[in-house]
Structure 1
Amino acid sequence: MTSSLFRGRPRRATAHIRARVAHAVLGALVGAGWLVLPVMTVDTRDPVPVAPAGAVASAAASSQAGTSAADLVLPLVAGVAAVALAGFGWLRRTRRARTRTTPGTVSAHPPVPAPAASERQARAALRLADDCVRTSREELSFVRERFGEQRTEPFTHALRAAGTELSAAFAVWRRYEEGVPQEAGARRQALAGVIGRCAEAGRRLDAQAEALDRLRDLTADGEGMRAALEVAEERFRELAARAMAAQRTLAALRERYARSVAGSVTGYVEQAKDRLVFAGARLNEARQAADVGETRRAAWQLRAGEGAVAQAGVLVGGVERLAAQVREAAGLVPAALTGAEAELAAARRTAPAPGEPEARPAEVRRESGRGSPAPGEPAARSAHVDGVLAVVREELTGGPYDPLDALRRITRAVERLTGVRSGVLGAAALLVARSSVAGAEEFVGVHRGAVGAEARARLAEAARELGAGSAGWADVVAGEARRLADRDVRAHGTEGDATGPAGAVLGGILLGEDPDGGPPPAFGGPQTRSRLHR
């Protein structure tokens, strides 16, 4: 077993040892040269010999005729030193080439990131890109309200392009989660594609951030700030009135229908009120800062107030949406029951013979996980539909019930039997799916400070399936997204006390980079979204 001493040694220790050896060799050679030099030049004769005049001429002639050994010592030492220096330089260049990390260096064998590290990077990229798109959409709504569609078209186009890239990245990620592709190299390429598409989405938004700031003109003079404050304050006042009405609407839903009806929007009115309190304080501080010429602080406070107003609108709108969809569902339930009974009767008339495989739509096969029914399965499914319809009829006459859940049970039971998606049952399935997707979208949007990539990926898949007409599967996946998002929020630990700055961080209104909540995000990608940091 390797000693802990050697396990703890850095990888570059070998290179350092080589350099030290080269230093030692060079020093030894130079020292040996200087030690040999006096020995080679020792002469036993007197320093100033007394010689006859004739002998002087003879000695000079003999010195010119030949070369003494002392004359060879200095060139020899210089040559050895040059060789040693060249070897030392080669070692230094080799070591730098192996450890260099500058962009210009191209390694013959670049390091391959571990799958776990690449997956973490992909999740982080998806979450960041999704936050950038959501924040940019929120701020752009205020800018569009002030300047109109035509002047904000470049930003709308950038946001749309970023959303397209993000949707493609989520689609690749979902296939990766499902094990497609299977080959290791292809899976690495898939993760690289996810990260690259997220980067492109951010780049699209970053490219327009400066132009949007110039259009808003929040820091140049007071006029742009005053106009932006008027837009935000007008929406704030409107939402304050709608929040009171939403509270009454929610109370009416709980009184008339089953408790499960309002379960998806539980706490929304309270959270909306908290967001409005936060927004009111930020907008007031923005106006005060603008009055004394502190334009950058005013812009900080304005963006925080706009983010809170936007999320209050999502929360209040969620209650209003649910109430409208519940009323629509209650009107559809009797017709859906009639349609389901007709489809059940038709299915019984055309039931396949025992042992004959049954053709079912791809969506139904995907939900059940099977291709052909087992012997006796059609009859069992028919009995299941009968049971579901009987329970729904009993609920209609037995007191408060959940119309959306009743439609969900009816449509799922009939779809597993016949795959019907048209007529009243198709409309009912679409209504249920739209409600599920919208509910998950609202929850993720106002809790995005805590929601991870898995829930966001499921939500993106649900939106794609809904757009493709697969209402039943969209409903299923949206339910998964909501459950995953709920799990993330509970793990975050602030759902019970999501007020003030804590609620703003949970909602992504503040980035949470500082003890006071940090800066509010702005329109843009990863490079520009936190430019309002004080």
Structure 2
Amino acid sequence: MRADLPTVVGLVIGIVVVAFVGLTVAGFVLLARRARREASSPAPGRTSAGVSLVQADDAIKAGDDELDFALAQFGEERTREFATVLARAKADLTRAFRLQQQLDDGTPDSEQQRTEWTRQIRSLADGARESVTAMTASFDELRRSEAGAPETLAVLRASLVALASRRAAGADTISELRTRYLDSAIGTVDADLAAADAALSSATTAVDEADAALAASTVPNVVDQLAAAHAALGTATRRLDAIDHRRDELAAAEASIAELVRHASDAIAAARSLRDAPPDPDSADEVNAAIAALQGELGAAAASGRVDPAARLDRLVDASDKLDIAVASAQNQQRRLDGARSALGGALVSARSQIAAVTDYIDGHRGGVGAQARTRLAEAQRQLVLAQNEADPVAALDIARRAQTDARDADALARYDTGG
């Protein structure tokens, strides 16, 4: 038995060591899982900041409608303070969206920065919402104490008649668009028209109810109907505006395509001369491939039939960009500047078109669209302004392309939020 004692002791020590190592490994695994769970869970402040942004954005949009209504009832002088408060709220919301963009971008931020920026976002957004909501409430109260309901009802009826005429024109516009463009180009104009019809129907009902109530009762009893009619008319206006905006955007895209096509032949001729006397074989290959790609897009642009000019413009701009890049790598900086100037106009039109489309979509769905989509849209708008004011055409083109990317992201996020 004494001879076996060292063996037994060795076995015991081995078991203890194995158990210790096993527990240590298990502990590291558990800690790693916990760290991954914590890293994947959004910070509560970030979530609440997003809610604040959505609420403020919707409150300001509603405030714009309310200010229009107040102007029709009370005039510019009595609504001056409302306009000032609304402008200040818009400026604060713009700052909040900018901070949210800093949180969402790929640049690493410290925990202190994230915490402080989130606090500022909530403060700015909540302050903007509360100030506009308070002004809206004060004008609601003012309406209940004023005897201007008959005049307001007359204004609403006139607006209803005008919008009914616009609705007919909108239907004609859609019919014309269908003869010229693919369904992918037209977008949501059918849904816009249907929503406008529903809003006009609601407005008609509210106006009729207000008319009946005004004949039988006192002013305060018709305030809600008047407000409902005004809100419905605002919805109809926005949806009919969206149809006109899409028509104008597609026309602008076609004009930009024609302009790019005019410049493309000169760009290809210059690229061919460079390709035939390249600084190195790789440059010749890159320039040749870019020429072939652009020629392919030019051939597609010359095709007849129904088209999607916005998509065609995007492809043509992309092909022009690739040729510019290929030429720039084998040519001096001045040639690259000239190429950027040629492509910049189309890129700006494309960015404006995408921003306008997603703006109309968010305006049409309001509470259904979350903070991420709105933040991307705000960033796209900011990038577009920077591109328009940038003196260097190369830098301006890069910024315009970022605006396009942010606008596409905003559209995808908005449609995801609404199930579209």
TM-score bin, normalised by smaller chain: 0.7 to 0.9
1:321: which partner in 2? 245
Q: Does 1:402 align with 2:327?
A: no
Q: Partner letter of residue 122 of structure 1? A: A
CA contact (8 A) 1:326 1:403 kept: yes
Q: Which amino acid in 2 is paired with 1:189?
A: E
Aligned to 1:481: 410
Pick one of 126, 135, 141 that aligns with 1:199.
126
Change (3 A) 1:452 1:385: farther
The verdict on how the C-alpha distance between 1:304 and 1:386 changes in structure 2, with shifts beyond 3 A counting, is farther
Whether the 8 Å contact between 1:219 and 1:225 is mirrored in structure 2 is no
Q: d(CA) in 1 for partners of 2:129 and 2:284?
A: 51
Q: Are the equivalent residues in 2 in contact too, given 1:392–1:406 (CA < 8 A)?
A: no
Deviation at 1:211, TM superposition (A): 5.1
The counterpart of 2:208, out of the listed 284, 296, 300, is: 284
Q: Residue 455 of structure 1 is aligned with which of 373, 378, 382?
A: 373
Give the Cα separation in 1 of the matches to 2:250 and 2:150: 41
Structure 1: runs of 5+ lacking an equivalent: 1-113, 355-374, 496-534
Using the TM superposition, give the Cα deviation of residue 135 of structure 1 relative to its aligned residue in structure 2, in angstroms. 0.4
Task: Give the TM-score taking structure 1 as reference length.
Answer: 0.61
- Stretch of structure 1 that moved more, 228-237 or 447-456: 228-237
Distance of 1:379 and 1:293 partners within structure 2: 82
Query: Quick one: distance in 2 between partners of 1:393 and 1:145?
Result: 53
Larger Rg: 1
2:318 pairs with 1:412:
yes
- Which of 151, 174, 177 aligns to 1:253? It is 177
Q: How does 1:89-104 map to 2 (within 5 A)?
A: none
Q: Deviations over 1:51-84 (max 9, x none)?
A: xxxxxxxxxxxxxxxxxxxxxxxxxxxxxxxxxx
Runs (5+) with no aligned partner, structure 2: 1-40, 326-335, 388-398
User: Percent identical across equivalent pairs?
Assistant: 27
CA distance in 2 between partners of 1:298 and 1:424 (Å): 58
Do 2:294 and 2:320's aligned partners in 1 also have CA atoms closer than 8 Å?
A: no
Pair 1:121 & 2:48 matched:
yes
Q: 8 Å contact 1:462–1:473 — kept in the other structure?
A: yes
CA distance, structure 1, for counterparts of residue 284 and residue 360 of structure 2:
39
Question: Residues 385 and 441 (structure 1 numbering): CA distance in 2 closer, same or farther, change over 3 Å?
Answer: farther
Alpha-carbon separation, structure 2, partners of 1:169 and 1:405: 32
| Contact 1:219–1:295 (Cα < 8 Å) also in 2 | yes
**1:242–1:316 Cα contact (<8 Å) kept:** yes
Instruction: Compute the displacement of 1:137 (Å).
Output: 0.8
Which of the numbers 210, 218, 237 marks the counterpart of 2:143?
218
Task: Give the Cα–Cα distance (whole angstroms) in 1 for the partners of residues 73 and 314 of structure 2.
Answer: 41
Count of matched residue pairs: 355
What is the CA distance between 1:348 and its match in structure 2?
Answer: 6.1
1:291 is displaced (CA, Å) by 3.3
What amino acid is the match of 1:325?
A: E
Q: 1:149-168 residue pairs with structure 2 within 5 A?
A: 149-168=76-95
1:155·1:212 contact (CA, 8 Å) conserved in 2?
no
1:446 aligns with 2:371: no
Query: How big is the shift at 1:139?
Result: 1.6
Distance 1:343 1:115, change over 3 A: same
Q: After TM superposition, give the deviation of residue 182 of structure 1 in Å.
A: 2.2
Contact conserved, 2:82 with 2:135, CA < 8 A, in 1?
yes
Contact 2:200 2:233 in 1 (8 A): yes
Give matches, 1:297-336, under 5 Å: 297-336=221-260
Amino acid at match of 2:400: A
Query: Matches of 2:283 and 2:79 in 1, distance apart?
Result: 57
1:297–1:320 CA distance, 2 compared to 1 (3 A) = same
Shift of 1:424: 5.8
- Structure 2 counterpart of 1:430, one-letter code: L
Query: In structure 2, what is the equivalent of residue 239 of structure 1?
Result: 163
Q: Assess, with a 3 A threshold, how the Cα gap between structure 1 residues 346 and 144 changes in structure 2: closer, same or farther.
A: farther
- Write the distance in 2 (CA, Å) between the matches of 1:164 and 1:220: 32
Partner residue, 1:175: 102
CA distance in 2, matches of 1:318, 1:400: 21
Q: CA deviation at 1:310?
A: 1.0
Distance in structure 1 (CA, Å) of the matches to 2:155 and 2:43: 46
TM-score of the superposition, structure 2-length normalised? 0.76
CA contact (8 A) 1:115 1:188 kept: no
TM superposition shift of 1:305: 1.9
Which deviations, in whole Å up to 9, do the C-alpha atoms of 1:377-423 show, x marking residues without a partner?
Answer: 88447624532442343342332222222222222332343476865
Shift in alpha-carbon separation, 1:377–1:133, aligned structure 2, 3 A: farther
TM-superposed CA distance for 1:239, in Å, is 1.2
Contact 1:166 1:201 (8 Å CA) reproduced: yes
Which one has the bigger helix percentage?
A: 2
* Aligned residues of 1:162 and 1:205 also touching (Cα < 8 A): yes
Q: 2:70 aligns with which of 143, 147, 151?
A: 143
CA distance in 1, matches of 2:377, 2:96: 13
Distance 2:221 2:269 in 1: 69
Q: Are residues 415 and 286 of structure 1, via their aligned partners in 2, closer, same or farther at CA, if it must alter by over 3 Å?
A: farther
The answer to whether the 8 Å contact 2:59/2:133 transfers is: no
Q: Is 2:393 the partner of 1:467?
A: no
Is the alpha carbon distance of 1:422 and 1:196 closer, same or farther for their aligned partners in structure 2, counting shifts above 3 Å? same
